[in-house]
Chain A
Amino acid sequence: MSIREKIKKLLIVDDDIDLLEQHKMLMESKGFKVVTAESGKQGYDVFLHEKPDAAIVDLIMEESDSGFVLCHRIKRTEYGKKIPVFMLTSATYETGFKFSAATDEEKEWIKCDGIINKPVVVEELLQKLENFYSK
């Protein structure tokens, strides 16, 4: 089964409306239905309402940890545990932020299934979604 059959609806949450629009266009061009939100708060509401098959959440929104909080809230729900949630950020090792969500210790407190760097490379994102389902 291809990834598009598993993920019909994708939630993207980002307070940068330019990036949000671009990512929406990119994913739509790959055949996904995309729903969006512009803050952590709104993101959770959309998540509950739309029940997306995957979520991509920007890290720094209204607060510097909004993305973390949203991931936690999503993963606390029974439904959220079943879907891939990726954190989107340009704050990574390269820019001096010391986290990767890769070590066991990090997985304890970063409740997401992986980190995606900005700007998004669609192929990389698709690969990560594939990997989630092939686990």
Chain B
Amino acid sequence: MDTEKIPRVLVVDDEKGLRVGTGRLLEMEGFSVQTAENGTEGILLGTREDFDLAIIDMKMPDIDGIEVLRKIRKSKPNTVCFIATAYASYETAIEATRIGAFGYIPKPFSPEELIQQLNKGYSQRLLLLESEKLKKEREENLLELAGEKSRLNAIINAIISGVIVVNKTGEIVYFNHAAIKNLNLDELNIGDRYEEKMPQKVNDLIEEIISSEIKTQKSLAIQIEIIKPNELIAEIICTPVLHPDGSFAGVVLVIRNITEMKKIEIIKSQFISMVAHELKTPVAAVQGFLNILIDDRFNIGYEKQKEYLSRSVVRLSSLLDLVNDLLDISRMETKSKKREIEKLNVPEIIDNCIITLELEIKKKSIRIIRNTLQQECNLFADSNEITRVFTNLLSNAIKYNKDKGSISINIEENKNFIIARIEDTGIGMKPEEKDKLFQEFFRAKNENTRGISGTGLGLTIVRRIIESYHGKMEVESTYGIGTAFTIYLPKSYK
């Protein structure tokens, strides 16, 4: 008998003498006993508590023992039950065993007989409990495994990159939804051949891995334009999967959508191409002049020599302007220059800009009209940047103005913004020119713009500065009439 635990026994018997006597006997033998004086009470106790053992009298006035046995077995299948009866018969024994009684104790029984039967029954009970425990553990393990698998599935399906697993015979054995999306496939099924679903270039990589003699865990990667032109670009990385013993299991493909990244790359490289082109042209012009000047065969006069040199100087200074603009853009992009935020008075900044541009204003006899009533319009920003914005806008208003034209400047403020409007009476823009206004290096080229120099980066810089302060800019223009820029700058910048 288990020494650590006291076996708990339920005795169900309507005969008081037997009930009490059996109880005492069993307690003396080290059992813990509870008794029930009829079938109803027996069912109540036996289904409420998980007794180790139960001795059930067959004949009781209310409910018969077979029914009590049935109810207890149903509720507590691990309670080992004995049927006790004075009417011993072969049929009742068979019936009791069929319903699930472990043993059959004919009355009257001797104490030894009873104890011997109960000990046997208790061993059975311990076996039952043990097997129940194992069963439960196994179920829990299975549950955990299933949980692990579905968790893994959920994770892989949530990954934004596509995942496809191809086994060593070339069948697709696993994939997630992103794989279908990133490869723009109509459908994909477990068991499909990879050759029928993947782009040719990917097939070549998988083929290379499957057919290679030595399987290392080295990945092969490729970038493919899935939908042209540049609508969907995917990077596919193929990696061999090895079993723990090092044998080849298959290939895992990770499919990343790199369209946005590629688009930025293209814009960057286009910008660099434009820069190279813009830098090369003035250099070529200066080189051309110098070549003519040093070549004796041309034998040009002194006046012409001076003219070529001064034209070279003009080209070089515009080249220098371009380099400076590029440096400004680069500084803005890398944010390498620290902003010095201070309280600025916009009318004062504009006055200073006008002073620096005075020479050009006088050259074209341009009239400046200030419509601003307020002397003070304050905002918090970096003085250099705001000066740059107004210098560029005013310089454009001068350059693209007519001779004896005018520029009107209007500054007002509302609760959040300083609103500055700079309107010229210049050549204006055609609608298609206006659309291209903020493109880097775009400069309106038509019969009226000949001879106007510029880097093509002025408005790019203006826009970038304004946007970096979370402001905005509006352009109105009528071809032949003039252009007005309105900029909104937040008063406080955080």
Contacts and interface: CB of A to CB of B under 8 A. Distances in A.
Contacts of B450: 15, 38
Given A25-B292, A91-B277, A97-B277, A62 B446 contact: yes
Interface in A81-98: 90-91, 94-97
Interface residues of A, number: 22
A22 B292 contact: yes
A2 interface: no
A16 B280 contact: no
Contact of A90 (B270, B281, B297): B281
Interface in A46-65: 60-63
Given A38-B450, A96-B273, A25 B298 contact: yes
Given A22-B292, A25-B292, A29-B297, A95 B285 contact: no
B70 interface: no
Contacts of A15: 445, 450
Contacts of B277: 60, 90-91, 95, 97
A29 B288 CA distance: 14
Interface in B304-345: 311, 315
A118 interface: yes
Interface in A11-63: 15-16, 18-19, 22-23, 25-26, 29, 38, 60-63
B297 A118 contact: no
B311 A96 contact: no
Given A18-B315, A96-B269, A118 B445 contact: no
Contacts of B281: 16, 19, 90, 118
A95 B280 CA distance: 9
Given A18-B288, A25-B292, A90-B280, A95 B273 contact: yes
Interface of A (DSSP majority class): loop
Given A18-B311, A25-B298, A96 B292 contact: no
27 contacts: A15-B445, A18-B289, A19-B281, A19-B284, A19-B285, A22-B288, A22-B292, A25-B292, A29-B298, A38-B450, A61-B445, A62-B446, A63-B445, A90-B277, A91-B273, A95-B280, A96-B269, A96-B270, A96-B273, A97-B273, A97-B277, A118-B280, A118-B281, A118-B284, A119-B284, A119-B287, A119-B291
Interface string B135-154: 00000000000000000000
Given A91-B273, A91-B277, A119 B288 contact: yes
A60 B281 CA distance: 11
Nearest to B439: A64
Contacts of B446: 62
A99 B16 CA distance: 112
A52 B272 CA distance: 36
Interface string B287-305: 1110110000110000000
Interface in B387-437: none
Given A22-B288, A38-B450, A95-B273, 15 more contacts: A18-B288, A19-B284, A22-B285, A22-B291, A22-B292, A61-B445, A63-B445, A90-B280, A95-B276, A95-B277, A95-B280, A96-B270, A118-B281, A119-B284, A119-B291
Contact of B289 (A22, A29, A61, A62): A22
Contacts of A25: 292, 298
A38 B445 CA distance: 12
Nearest to B270: A96
A21 to B, nearest CB: 9
Nearest to A28: B298
Contacts of B298: 25, 29
Interface string A110-125: 0000000011000000
B272 to A, nearest CB: 6
